[in-house]
Amino acid sequence: MPGDDRVLVILPTYQEAENLPRLLPKLRAAAPDVDILVVDDGSPDGTGRLADDAARSDPKLHVLHRATKEGLGAAYLAGFYWALDRDYDVIVEMDADLSHDPEALPGLLAALDGADLVIGSRYGRGRVAVVNWPLRRLLLSRSANRFVRMSTGLPLSDATSGYRAFRRRVLLGIHLDQVRSNGYAFQIELAHRAWAHGFTVREHPIVFADRVDGHSKLDGHVIVEAVFTVLRLATRRVSSAHPMC
């Protein structure tokens, strides 16, 4: 963990009753000092209730209940504002389906030394670090990231990754109130905003394991939104150099 920074890990959940009880102990073991915020979008399977039960025995675990499912981006924005209101120094995004390894969190946080945003990357330098993905999903992900680079100039190998750590100043500086995307495009837009505002963005290698229980939230609408988001960002492409590590 960077210095004495207060760190909050945000876990957006919808229908994760099978995964959340397995994830929380792993996350607490890997990073005992971090705070955790579960943002539950009114899961019918009782995920929010399970989070409340766990919070009774963990004073560093908090739960934010939202009435309905409004999308990944909306859940993260609610979590970001919650974190900023409580003066956290570092805010982490992590999937609640066990696809993001909690044991990789200390390395992600350590990589913040000298950076403003660290993105856990599945790709780069010839590596592909995914487990249990069908070839079609891998090709879609790789193509999407290539499309992002070519269209916007964003110099990242994995702009769509949702395992990332922000310093507080990034979320304060990128105008969260102007973020328009909501699905997986949300990750692209936030990375692009950080880069375009001159923040130092770094990629850190991770291994991504596809979920075992539950269902993927990826659908046709999410893909269409991502394409249009990239095209929108491409119209704002800047020509000046940006700091990267």
Q: Which pLDDT value is given to residue 127? A: 78
Q: Is residue 195 part of a domain?
A: yes
pLDDT for residue 217: 53
Structural domain includes residue 243: no
Q: For the segment 122-160, what is each residue's pLDDT rounded down to a tens digit? A: 998 777 778 877 888 888 888 888 888 888 889 999 999
- Please report whether residue 242 resides in a domain: no
Asked if the model's pLDDT at residue 244 lies above 70, the reply is no
For residue 131, which amino acid is it? Answer: V
User: Is residue 36 domain-resident?
Assistant: yes
Per-residue pLDDT at 240 exceeds 60 = no
Burial class (CB within 10 angstroms; exposed 0-12, middle 13-18, buried 19+) of 7: buried
Bridge-based pairing state of the strands 127-128 and 123-124: antiparallel
**Domain at 46, CATH number:** 3.90.550.10
Closest by CA position to 24, among listed 67, 64, 53: 53
Q: Is position 12 within any domain?
A: yes
CB-based burial of residue 149 (10 Å sphere; 0-12 exposed, 13-18 middle, 19+ buried)? middle
CA 159 and chain centroid, separation: 10
CA–CA distance, 104 with 204 (Å, rounded to integer): 10
Residue 241 lies in a domain: no
Domain containing 102 equals 7-234
* Domain membership flag for residue 2: no
- Does residue 159 fall inside a structural domain? yes
Q: Number of structural domains, the chain?
A: 1
The pLDDT value recorded for residue 235 is 73
pLDDT of residue 7: 98
- For 25, half-sphere exposure in the C-beta direction (CA atoms, 13 angstrom radius) is 4
Q: How far apart are CA 111 and CA 22, in angstroms?
A: 26
Q: Provide the mean pLDDT of the chain.
A: 89
Cα(62)–Cα(49) distance, integer angstroms: 12
Whole-prediction pTM value?
0.88
